[in-house]
């Protein structure tokens, strides 16, 4: 039997979906719970979410947004107020129908205390927040209202995949109300660009920004804008969305205001959100066949110190040296937060590989021989596990920020190069179909990647491609230039290329 060359089996090449499950398991980030479709986010995974929330929260606040909290439960009649919205969410919501449990004749606990009106667990909060807005907003002087909520939401998914699609997930949902259409549109774009910044600069995930087609937009939105990333199986992941809701939800929730001209009008609203799904995207973008790879700016920890104690006589020297190094590193900041140092004193062979699988950016071995030379032995997670180099300790402390930045940049560059290598401009329907058709039926996930192709704007063409190839329009990119062409499906006039891809 051939020895496994990598820490994770199967590899990405062998079986990408299983590799994803195994990578997460090996990293100790999260696991499925006994509750259908719900996950347990373990400390190593939750620390990532904490880093994301702190970075975003500060940025939100810098734009004038304040946090608030709204009820977990939504009365059914609230959902019904917006026709598309209820269509979009009624099929996948958890419904609370009773408010206590009682023992039946057999001694089993059964629901009791039936509610007059059932409640649903929020799948998103436009309608319940809209109700508050309708009370808070009277005049143009009350506008804009800029609110964000960090919360859990539930969408009953039949096919779940940890982080990417779970029945319960954590997210933030921003909700704003404005006096003018333009101001609301500007806010929609401001938040989308903020997402792009966090995802690119901190998570090292290159994204395409653009607008969803009418068929793909949020139920009830006038327009949905999004950031789309390419995973290592060349599928697209929607990593964040920002919706311009027009006056739809204002009408549904009766959110009116008195204008400066003393007329009455509906406000213009937006909503925007990212979720724990981002963690799934991060894993699928950077990780390799040895496990998770965490970009330094968002990593749960920046560096792990591994003292090597071969005999008891070395213990005091090695531990003293290690603790002193940890203390000096912790005094430093990298990208607005203190360097987070783990010290792993286990003297086992598994230790080094455990940290590789967890994706910590830097692994530092400290043994008696290194101490003699006042140097440390450093491995970078973006390089081969065997490529370790000795660095003078003081130099390591002085340059750790530069090394981390170098890793950060390398991860971004690698992800961008991968996306570019797997993005094709396609003008011919046969090439297009071949691009998306798996060559190997056993590995249906293997296909071409992103196709930049012309689309006439008709929903029929979009639907026909989706039916045939399970490929959707991920977005109409903002950054693409106008260009005359012919729709890939029907050959009619088109003015812009859109991004076609298979998607999570």
The vertex-342 CA angle with 336 and 346, nearest 5°, equals 175
Q: Which is nearer to a second copy, 78 or 412 (CB)?
A: 78
- For residue 338, the minimal CB distance to a second copy (Å) is 12
Q: Which is nearer to a second copy, 157 or 445 (CB)?
A: 157
Q: Which is nearer to a second copy, 45 or 295 (CB)?
A: 45
For residues 124 and 72, give the distance between their C-alpha atoms in angstroms, rounded to a whole number.
9
- For residue 466, the minimal CB distance to a second copy (Å) is 23
b/e sequence 435-474, b meaning 16+ C-beta within 10 Å = bbeeeeeeeeeebbbbbbbbbbbeeebbeebeeebebbbb
Q: Which is nearer to a second copy, 100 or 386 (CB)?
A: 100
- For residue 208, the minimal CB distance to a second copy (Å) is 30
- For residue 302, the minimal CB distance to a second copy (Å) is 16
Token pair 């549904």 in the structure block, residue: 252
- For residue 17, the minimal CB distance to a second copy (Å) is 23
Q: Which residue in 227, 265, 220, 267 sits closest to 245, CA to CA?
A: 220
**Is 169 exposed, middle or buried (CB count within 10 Å of its CB: 0-12, 13-18, 19+)?**
buried
Q: Which is nearer to a second copy, 98 or 468 (CB)?
A: 98
- For residue 189, the minimal CB distance to a second copy (Å) is 24
How far CA 427 is from CA of 434, 454, 477, 494, in Å, comes to 12, 7, 17, 12
**Cβ–Cβ under 8 Å, residues 177 and 268:** yes
The 3-state DSSP class for residue 413 equals: helix
- For residue 250, the minimal CB distance to a second copy (Å) is 17
Q: Which is nearer to a second copy, 185 or 304 (CB)?
A: 304
Q: Which is nearer to a second copy, 136 or 418 (CB)?
A: 136
Token pair 């729709």 in the structure block, residue: 487
- For residue 173, the minimal CB distance to a second copy (Å) is 14
**Cβ–Cβ under 8 Å, residues 153 and 168:** yes
Ramachandran angles phi, psi of 376, nearest 5°: -125, 160
Q: Which residue in 125, 176, 117 sits closest to 147, CA to CA?
A: 176
- For residue 77, the minimal CB distance to a second copy (Å) is 8
If one counts every other C-beta atom within 10 angstroms of the C-beta of residue 399, the result is 14
Q: Which is nearer to a second copy, 97 or 470 (CB)?
A: 97
First to last CA, the chain: 35
The DSSP symbol for 447 reads S
User: E strands along 352-418, which residues?
Assistant: 362-366, 375-380, 388-392
- For residue 214, the minimal CB distance to a second copy (Å) is 24
Q: Which is nearer to a second copy, 116 or 430 (CB)?
A: 116
Q: Which is nearer to a second copy, 87 or 483 (CB)?
A: 87
For residues 417 and 232, give the distance between their C-alpha atoms in angstroms, rounded to a whole number.
11
Q: Which is nearer to a second copy, 97 or 182 (CB)?
A: 97
- For residue 324, the minimal CB distance to a second copy (Å) is 20
Pairing of the two strands 303-307 and 362-366: parallel
The DSSP symbol for 2 reads P
Q: Which is nearer to a second copy, 41 or 208 (CB)?
A: 41
Distance of CA 359 to the CA centre of its chain: 17
Q: Which is nearer to a second copy, 80 or 483 (CB)?
A: 80
Which residues here bind a second copy, judged by CB under 8 A? 31, 33-35, 38-43, 46-47, 49-50, 66-76, 78-80, 86, 90-102, 109-111, 113, 118-121, 128, 131-132, 135, 147, 151-152, 154, 156, 168, 170
- For residue 45, the minimal CB distance to a second copy (Å) is 8
For residues 77 and 270, give the distance between their C-alpha atoms in angstroms, rounded to a whole number.
21
- For residue 32, the minimal CB distance to a second copy (Å) is 10
Q: At a CB cut-off of 8 Å and minimum separation 6, what does 34 contact?
A: none
The DSSP symbol for 54 reads H
Q: Which helix (H) or strand (E) holds 327?
A: helix 315-330
Q: At a CB cut-off of 8 Å and minimum separation 6, what does 346 contact?
A: none
**Cβ–Cβ under 8 Å, residues 291 and 26:** yes
For residues 270 and 387, give the distance between their C-alpha atoms in angstroms, rounded to a whole number.
49
Q: Which residue in 471, 456, 478 sits closest to 424, CA to CA?
A: 471
């Amino acid at each position: 039997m051939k020895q496994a060359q990598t820490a994770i089996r199967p590899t990405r090449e062998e079986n990408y979906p299983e590799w994803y499950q195994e990578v997460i398991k090996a990293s100790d980030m999260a696991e499925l719970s006994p509750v259908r479709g719900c996950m347990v986010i373990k400390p190593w995974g939750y620390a990532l979410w904490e880093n994301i929330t702190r970075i975003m929260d500060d940025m939100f606040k810098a734009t004038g947004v304040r946090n608030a909290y709204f009820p977990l439960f939504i009365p059914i009649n609230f959902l019904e107020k917006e026709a598309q919205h209820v269509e979009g969410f009624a099929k996948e919501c958890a419904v609370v129908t009773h408010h206590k449990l009682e023992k039946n004749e057999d001694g089993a606990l059964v629901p009791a205390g039936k509610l007059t009106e059932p409640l649903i667990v929020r799948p998103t909060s436009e309608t319940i927040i809209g109700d508050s807005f309708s009370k808070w907003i009277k005049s143009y002087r009350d506008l804009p209202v800029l609110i964000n909520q960090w919360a859990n939401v539930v969408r009953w998914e039949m096919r779940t995949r940890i982080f990417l699609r779970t029945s319960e997930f954590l997210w933030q949902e921003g909700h704003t109300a404005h006096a003018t259409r333009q101001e609301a549109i500007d806010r929609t774009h401001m938040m989308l660009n903020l997402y792009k910044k966090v995802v690119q600069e901190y998570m090292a995930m290159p994204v395409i920004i653009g607008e969803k087609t009418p068929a793909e937009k949020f139920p009830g939105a006038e327009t949905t804008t999004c950031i789309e990333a390419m995973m290592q199986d060349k599928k697209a992941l929607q990593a964040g969305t920002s919706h311009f809701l027009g006056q739809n939800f204002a009408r549904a929730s009766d959110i009116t205001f008195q204008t400066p001209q003393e007329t009455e009008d509906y406000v213009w609203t937006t909503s925007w959100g990212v979720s724990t799904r981002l963690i799934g995207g991060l894993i699928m973008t950077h990780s390799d066949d040895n496990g998770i790879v965490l970009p330094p700016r968002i990593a749960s920890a920046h560096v792990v110190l591994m003292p090597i104690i071969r005999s008891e006589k070395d213990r005091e020297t090695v531990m003293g040296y290690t603790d002193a190094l940890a203390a000096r590193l912790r005094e430093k900041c990298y990208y607005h937060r203190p360097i987070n140092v783990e010290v792993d004193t286990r003297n086992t062979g598994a230790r080094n590989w455990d940290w590789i699988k967890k994706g910590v950016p830097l692994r530092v071995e400290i043994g008696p021989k290194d101490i003699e030379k006042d140097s440390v032995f450093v491995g970078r997670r973006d390089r081969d596990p065997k490529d370790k180099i000795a660095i003078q300790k003081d130099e390591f402390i002085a340059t750790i920020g530069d090394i981390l930045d170098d890793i950060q940049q390398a991860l971004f560059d690698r992800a961008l190069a991968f996306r570019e290598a797997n993005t094709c401009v396609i003008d011919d329907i046969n090439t297009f179909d071949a691009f998306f058709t798996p060559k190997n039926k056993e590995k249906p996930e293997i296909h071409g990647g992103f196709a930049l192709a012309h689309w006439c704007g008709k929903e029929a063409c979009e639907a026909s491609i989706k039916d045939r190839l399970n490929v959707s329009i991920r977005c109409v990119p903002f950054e693409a230039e106008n260009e005359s062409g012919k729709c890939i499906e029907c050959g009619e006039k088109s003015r812009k290329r859109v991004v076609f891809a298979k998607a999570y």
